[in-house]
Each structure stands twice: as C-alpha cells, then as structure tokens.
C-alpha cells in the first residue's frame, strides 16, 4: 500500500514537473522571440540612420563645394571660412554627443540615482 502511494505521488509530481518545465520553455521561447525582434528593429534602425547620415553628408559636401565655387572671396578668406566651418561641425556634435551620453545625465533623468540612493539608505517602495 505504501509503495502504491509513493508510486502515485511520484507520478503526480513528475506530471507537475513536466508541466512546469514545459511552461518555462514556452516563457523562454517567448522571451527569445522578443529579444530577436528588438535586435532586428535595432539593426533596421542603424541601417536607416546610416542611410540618412550618408545623404546628409553628401548634401553637406555638395553645399560646401557650391559655396566654395560661388563665394567671391580670395582663396585665403575661403580657407579661413571653411576651417571655421569644419571646427564648428566637429565641436558642436562632439559636445552634443558627450552631453547626451553622459552617465550622470541618464542617471538623473531616469531616476536611477534616486533609486540607488534609496537602496543604499535601506529604503524600499
């Protein structure tokens, strides 16, 4: 009788274990598909951004070539003008990039710094 109870208990436990493992596999597969979708969308975004950047760069080069050809200044004035333009085009994006990617800015904007401070002080919401 005791052996029958153990066998029945083992059978029920194995069924629940199989069901639990199956559910975990389904959840993992769903998560994997979600990650693949996010990765695909990220790659598409990078490709689109690259194409837009390429068109922008070509347009900017054509604009400067036209300016160089049309401006009635001496060669020395044109050179100084384009050096200044080059510095502006280099420094402004660099400053914007450093500001946008600042860890301090992201920590403050997302509220993560407050969460870290609360966690270190032992507070929990």
- Residue spans per domain, the chain: 1-70, 74-125
- With cut-offs at 50, 70 and 90, classify the pLDDT of residue 121: confident
Structure confidence by residue, pLDDT tens digits, 24-50: 889 899 999 999 999 999 999 999 999
What's the pTM? Answer: 0.54
Q: How far apart are CA 124 and CA 120, in angstroms?
A: 10
Question: Encoding tokens for residue 66?
Answer: 């036209």
CB 45 within 8 A of CB 59: no
Q: How far apart are CA 73 and CA 81, in angstroms?
A: 10
Structure confidence by residue, pLDDT tens digits, 70-109: 999 999 999 999 999 999 999 999 999 999 989 899 888 8
Q: How far apart are CA 84 and CA 82, in angstroms?
A: 5
């Amino acid at each position: 009788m005791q052996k029958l109870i153990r066998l029945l208990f083992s059978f029920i436990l194995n069924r629940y274990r199989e069901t639990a493992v199956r559910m975990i596999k389904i959840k993992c597969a769903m998560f994997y598909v979600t990650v693949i979708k996010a990765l695909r969308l990220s790659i598409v975004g990078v490709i689109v951004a690259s194409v837009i950047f390429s068109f922008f760069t070509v347009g900017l080069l054509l604009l400067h070539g036209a300016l160089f050809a049309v401006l009635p200044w001496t060669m020395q004035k044109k050179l100084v003008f384009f050096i200044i333009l080059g510095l502006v085009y280099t420094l402004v994006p660099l400053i914007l990039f450093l500001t946008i990617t600042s860890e301090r800015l992201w920590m403050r904007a997302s509220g993560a710094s407050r969460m870290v401070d609360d966690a270190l002080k032992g507070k929990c919401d």
